[in-house]
Amino acid sequence: MFFDLISEARTGLLTRPGRTALTVLGTVLGVAALVATLGIAKSAGNQIVGRFDELAATSVVVTSTLGNDQVLTLLPWDSEQRITRLNGVAAAGTITPVATGGALTAAVPIHDPRGQAEFQLPVFAVSPGLFAAARTQLLTGRTFDAGHSQRQDNVAVLGPGAARRLNVTYIDRLPVIFVGDQAFVVIGILEQVGRTPDLADAVVIPEGTAQHIYQLEAPTTVQIDVEIGAATLIAEQAPIALAPNTPQDLRVLKPAEPTQLRADVADDVNVLFLILGGVALLVGAIGIANVTLVSVLERTGEIGLRRALGATKYAITAQFLLESATMGFMGGIIGTSIGIAVVAVVATTRTWTPVIDPWIPLAAPIVGTLTGLVAGAYPAIRAAGLEPVAALHNA
Amino acid sequence: MAREPIALLTDLERHFAAGDVIVRALQSVCLTVEHGDYVTVMGPSGSGKSTLLNILGLLDRPTAGTFHLDGIDVGTLTDRDRCHLRARRIGFVFQSFHLLAHISAFQNVKLGTIYTTTPRAKRRTLAYEALERVGLAHRADFLPPTMSGGERQRVAVARAIVANPSLLLCDEPTGNLDTETGSTVLDVFAELRQSSDLTLIVVTHDPDVGDRADRTVHIRDGFMVTT
Ligand SMILES: Nc1ncnc2c1ncn2[C@@H]1O[C@H](COP(=O)(O)OP(=O)(O)OP(=O)(O)O)[C@@H](O)[C@H]1O
Ligand SMILES: [Mg+2]
């Protein structure tokens, strides 16, 4: 009985391979669209989070400036050394705005009446480690080292915006800029300012120099680049290392919990793509239903004949459901493979890491099978319910 | 003990609603067929012969009246029981053959056994024997659309007899055959009747078929005409 059912279903599928292939194609398209959409969504979401992670999840900032420029505790001059000693810190450096009393900055000491050659540019004093801690990138030249600061050299690094406005592009001839009447030799120009967007239009000078020329009182902010996973720990330890007696007077900015963040972003992207995938599946399912419906209706005569030869309604329904479920399953498997291939290709061309939830390759064939079953159920049950002679007349 | 008649029709009616008009295809039909009988049904086109045969073959239900098969009122049976009777007791040769176009003649014949209790191993042999009986062993692997009308008709006959039914219903089984092949088929029927207790009801226009039968019933406009 059971073997008959299987062999009849197999015959039904194999005797008309063209029709079977067409029916399967409907499922293939639907499932492939679903899998591809979900996979691309996941990969894209992962990518977004990954980029975000890199900059944010490894950055801790400690500042002594509370709201309204209120300062309760001064940061020590050796902040960089104190923080770098902590385990889990990749780099650290201080950054402090310098009050120049409204001095204008110019590339040449001559006043040019025709065009503007003087600008009010912010000046920042930084310790040597800041450039690494902020993940800045140099366009040309070099950054400071500890010697510049100790010798209180009049050297400067320009942010990309400042360099453009001052029209400084080459540093091989040691260009000099003037902040008020102080001359600085430009030794480097930044291309990327990384975590310190303030530096984009700024003139950056060594801490020791700022102490000497502008009587800088103390650093105000420490930028720390931590190793992945160490952010929470460093955020706790840094204030104690910097101000052992009054750590509560410092403000710490640390990244949001990365796992939470990852989940949030991924959820947002997933919801969007799940809707798209659902639409794709729905369209696919309607396609499958349509083809299955037509192919079962087309076989009403065959159903009538089988009934006349003694097949029960149950046997007919079971055979046709088995056929459409098998087609749905095959379509699901092929569709899943194609979908995964599409995700892999898209991810590769975009240099993403392809990510697919492990349940998708398992669930997709089931979805295909269920769609086949649902689509086949209505016409099969209807045709099986006809009196044999009525079904035969439909042939 | 007298056996119940294999088929007993009492006041049978079959009406069709065709749009607004009601077609009375069968009207107050009473018929008794005993085991082993050979009955032919004759009548003009549209008189209700096929309709009668469909009801006898449990392919259709009467509008009114009863049909007792072997003493059982088949109107009260479940669909499952009617299916079992169709599969094991009744063979049917359709006026328009109803062969599946995409499987071979052999597989078409074998289809007559798959809803029976015949063991799977025996079905191939039975199907082959049935084809041989109607003289089509050499066409076993042909697809129906590539066969002549007469060959298809004989495949349909082979499928009807393959499961060894006790009631064989044929709707013009020789309609497409020349006299010679026609009589081959009739010889097959005669053989089957000898070797088993087969009851035959054959719709025909062919007087030759009528001559071989025990008796003939006539139908006109849905009424049985006694002769
Ligand atoms: N499903 C149906 N719906 C409506 N009318 C039907 C239906 N089936 C049969 N009829 C009508 O019932 C009458 C008898 O039909 P039937 O097929 O029994 O004739 P028949 O005697 O077999 O004719 P033929 O010798 O041409 O095969 C015809 O008038 C036919 O139109
Ligand atoms: Mg007829």
pTM for this one? Answer: 0.69
> What mean pLDDT is predicted for residues B11-32?
93
Q: Judge: B59–A387 Cβ closer than 8 Å, yes or no.
A: yes
Q: Mean pLDDT, to the nearest integer, of B78-82?
A: 93
Least confident among A145-154, A371-380, B41-50, B212-221: A371-380
> Starting from the edge strand earliest in sequence, which strands make up the sheet with B90-93, in order?
B90-93, B167-171, B199-203, B38-42, B215-220, B223-225
ipTM, two decimals: 0.94
Is the CB of B51 inside a 6 Å radius of any atom of ligand 1? Answer: yes
CB A371 within 8 A of CB A328: yes
Let me know: does A91 contact A226? Beta carbons within 8 Å.
no
Instruction: Give me the percent of chain A exceeding a pLDDT of 90.
Output: 26
More confident residue, A220 or A256: A220
Return the domain boundaries, chain A: 2-52+260-394, 58-258
CB A208 within 8 A of CB A155: no
pLDDT averaged over every residue in chain A:
84
Flag whether pLDDT at A184 surpasses 80: yes
Q: Nearest CA to A23 among A323, A378, A382?
A: A323
CA-nearest residue for atom 12, ligand 1, is: B25
Size of interface A-B (CB pairs under 8 A): 67
Per-residue pLDDT tens digits for B176-203: 788 888 888 888 888 888 888 899 999 9
Q: What is the pLDDT of residue B11?
A: 95
> Is residue A268's pLDDT more than 80?
no
Predicted confidence (pLDDT) per residue in A35-62, tens digit: 888 888 778 777 776 666 666 678 889 9
For residue B60, pLDDT over 90 is answered with: yes
What pLDDT was estimated at residue B124? Answer: 94
Which is more confident, B82 or A300? B82
- Shortest Cα distance from B127 to chain A (angstroms)? 14
Judge if the beta carbon of residue B23 lies within 6 A of ligand 1: yes
Q: Of the ranges A79-93, A106-120, A264-278, which one carries the lowest mean pLDDT score?
A: A106-120
pLDDT tens digits, B121-147: 899 999 999 999 899 999 999 999 999
- The domains of chain B, with CATH numbers, are 37-59+83-226 (3.40.50.300)
Q: Which atom of ligand 1 is nearest the CA belonging to B14?
A: 12
Which positions in chain A touch B171 (Cβ < 8 Å)?
none
Reported as a single tens digit per residue, the pLDDT across A270-297 is 777 778 777 877 877 787 677 777 877 8
DSSP per-residue letters across A266-327? HHHHHHHHHHHHHHHHHHHHHHHHHHHHHHHHHTHHHHHHHHHTT--HHHHHHHHHHHHHHH
What Rg do the C-alpha atoms of chain A give, in angstroms? Answer: 35
Write the residue with the smallest CA distance to atom 28 of ligand 1. Answer: B46
Query: What is the average pLDDT across A80-98?
Result: 91
- pLDDT tens digits, A150-181: 999 999 999 999 998 888 888 888 889 988 88
Q: Return the pLDDT at B175.
A: 81
Task: Give pLDDT tens digits for A294-322.
Answer: 877 888 889 999 999 999 999 999 988 89
pLDDT of residue A42: 78
